[in-house]
Each structure stands twice: as structure tokens, then as C-alpha cells.
Amino acid sequence: MSKIKIAFQGEPGAYSHIAINEVFKNPEIKTCSTFEETFKTAFEDDSYKIIIPLENSLAGRVADIHYLLPKYKLQIHAEHFQKVEHNLLSKNDAEMKDIKCVRSHAQAIGQCQKIIMNNRFKTIISADTAGSAKELAEGKDKSIAAIASKLSAKIYNLKILKENIEDEKGNVTRFLIMGKNVQQPEFEKGKKYITTCTFRLKSEPAALYKSLGGFATNQVNMTKLESFSVKNTFAQTNFYLDFEGHLDEKPVQNAMEELGFHTQSLDILGVYQASNFRTK
């Protein structure tokens, strides 16, 4: 049996890599330098799935993803909630007293301000956490540390100076597993589903209010609604929507019919089983 092929943005040891290891058994992985390259991989080769971080419980939405979702219109096959634990990594011959600078992704640095401020570390922004660990391993300067995962420390042979250095515990990132082919599960009573779509409203008064009225009258629970500007204009807005339910359920069909009546465009990005994390 051939291995599952999955692509992610970042270097080996990234939190996306950790999420892949939790979701898939021994997959064939491909690293991509940007999110755009990651989406393009699955768009051009339907044998690939991709895993994409959508939002973080502390930092909010991940930049650029909302613009890539409607551009490539890949289908969401599943969701995964990944616990994020940051660690301070160093060269093997370094000690805490040697560290003057810390390197990592901007979000990771923002989530570890206490240790940075208490030690008066200078910060260096990198493209991703695992990439910062890789750069540290390839360099010779032991005054620089990296904020990254334990998997990164293992892959790049780095020392963990301090574990779990994030300011707040319970840091979780929601990932989407996506691919080009539609894989909508059949509705089964007793199971919980999430439906995700993007839409653009007609330019008319109270369009958003009227478009969402069907969810209220049909008792369909919306779990996420976000707006994001259409590129190069302030005149139009796209919306991203998650709600509980399956398209084969009558209340969902009624709500979607009402939504569709008030939209210029409406794209279903996926119907998938809700993660057990949502019930915790």
C-alpha cells in the first residue's frame, strides 16, 4: 500500500509536522517554503493532502490563509487541534548565561514574552519555528537561542535549555487537512459535523443580517464567522463561516438556501466530522 502524501509549510520539526505525526501513520511528507506553495502542491497534484494552520487560541488567525482558501478552493477533509508547547533551544555547549538573542517566528516570540523580557533577550524574526532551530544548528554562535518544538531539538541535535516557556498554557492551534478531491462523509445520526464555506454578499442594505437569519430560524449553530477584505479593494468583503451540521440535514439545507439568496458567490469548502477536542 502506498504511503499517504502530505505537504506542510515550514521545516521538519514545525508544529505542522507534529500535527501530521498525530493524524497520520508514517506518511510521506513534503516541506514547502510558503503557504502558497503548500496550497499549490495539492492543487496541481491530487495525490497530496496538505495540513494548514488556520487559527491559534492565543494569536488568532494565521496570516494569508483566508486569502488562499477561496483562491485554490481545496476541500477540507478534517480538522485537528494541536497543543503548542514552546521550548528554548540552544547549541549543545551553551548555557542560559550565554544567551543574548532569541530567534523564532513572530507569533512564537509574541507568545513567550515573559522569558524574553526577564532575560532581556534581543529578538530575531524567522519564517517559522523549526526554521529558526535549523538556522541555529547550522550556525556557530552559542549566544543565540531558538524558540521551537521538542521535535525540532531532536531533529537538529539541539539542547533544550527550558521547556514550556509560553506565557499562557493551553495554547492550541487549529489545523485543516485539505485536498483537491471532495471527500464529504455520509451523514450518520449521532455524529457531529462541521460545514465550512466562504461567501461574498450582494451589495444591499442589511445583507449580512438577512443572510444569516436562516441559521437562527433553523437552529443551526455558527461556530466561527470572520470577514476579510477582497484584495486591492475596500469596497468588497469576503466571509469565512463554520457551522455545526451536515448538508444532508434539512435545517442546514434551509439555512444555506437563505444564505445563498443574499450572496454573490458561495463556496462550500468542506463537510467533515467535528474533532473530539470540541467536546472537551
- Is the pLDDT at 44 greater than 70? The verdict is yes
Other beta carbons within 10 angstroms of residue 84's beta carbon come to 22
Identify the DSSP state of 197. Answer: E
Answer positive or negative: Cα dihedral of 35, 37, 38, 44.
positive
- Is the pLDDT at 2 greater than 80? The verdict is no
pLDDT, tens digit, for every residue of 58-85? Answer: 878 888 898 999 999 999 999 999 999 9
Q: Which residues are known to be catalytic?
A: 173, 175
Return d(Cα 266, Cα 280) in angstroms, integer: 31
Would you place residue 184 in the very low, low, confident or very high pLDDT band (cuts 50, 70, 90)? Answer: confident
Helix (H, G, I), strand (E, B) or coil at 151: helix
Return d(Cα 177, Cα 181) in angstroms, integer: 12
Task: Catalogue all structural domains in the chain, each as residue range(s) with its CATH number.
Answer: 5-83+171-179 (3.40.190.10), 87-162 (3.40.190.10), 193-279 (3.30.70.260)
Residue 30: enclosing H or E segment and its boundaries?
Answer: strand 28-32
DSSP β-ladder status, 237-244 and 222-229 = antiparallel
Q: Quote the cell numbers at residue 74.
A: 481545496
Angle ∠(168,172,174) on CA atoms, nearest 5: 155
Identify the DSSP state of 3. Answer: P
pLDDT, tens digit, for every residue of 12-33? Answer: 999 999 999 999 999 999 999 9
| 108 touches 65 (CB < 8 A) | no
Return d(Cα 146, Cα 148) in angstroms, integer: 6
End-to-end CA distance of the chain: 35
| 130 touches 11 (CB < 8 A) | yes
Global confidence as pTM: 0.92
| Angle, helices 65-72/35-44, rounded to nearest 10 degrees | 20
